[in-house]
Amino acid sequence: MTNAVVHVEVIGPDPDRLRAFYAALFGWDSPAGAPVAAAVSEQSSYSFLDPVAGAGPVAGGIGGGPGFAAHAVFYVGVDDVAAALERVEELGGTAVLPPQRNEGGGVTVGHFHDPAGNLVGVAGPG
């Protein structure tokens, strides 16, 4: 099975400013209030971008809040987030966000740094 990119995210300390920036730049409509795991973004500050909102063929989100480090991340779909993060460690990467269940969206996510230090996410069934 080939694992596809299933979600991209832009996170920063001022998600309202990020939403305004991407709305002005690309026309992305992304109202706040989408469900998200608390470790990913302030829950009231997260918004989904999806193909209907004009963000392209891959769904995405904008969020963060005070205390969240700025980053952009893409998520690869996996069957088991915990197992994927274990494999990351075996291959020389570093798990940086253990599995986090998004109760409102029924998905589990995790983050890792690849051997070069790039931040990558994995997402799977909740």
pLDDT digits (tens, 9 = 90+) for 12-67: 999 998 888 888 877 787 888 888 999 999 989 999 886 655 556 678 899 999 99
What is residue 115's predicted lDDT score, i.e. its pLDDT? 86
The pLDDT assigned to 6 comes to 85
Please name the residues in contact with 24: beta carbons below 8 A apart, sequence gap of 6 or more.
none
Domain region containing 91: 81-125
Q: Which two three-digit tokens encode residue 113?
A: 């740094």
Residues 30 and 65 in one domain: yes
Query: What CATH number corresponds to the domain at position 111?
Result: 3.10.180.10
Distance CA 113, CA 22 (A): 25
Strand bridging mode 107-113 / 94-102: antiparallel
Q: Residue 116 has what pLDDT?
A: 82
Q: Are residues 68 and 86 both part of a single domain?
A: no
The pLDDT of residue 19: 86
Tens of pLDDT, residues 51-110: 655 556 678 899 999 999 999 998 999 999 999 999 999 998 999 999 999 888 789 999
Together in a domain, 47 and 101: no
How many separate domains does the chain show? 2
Give yes or no: residues 45 and 98 share one domain.
no
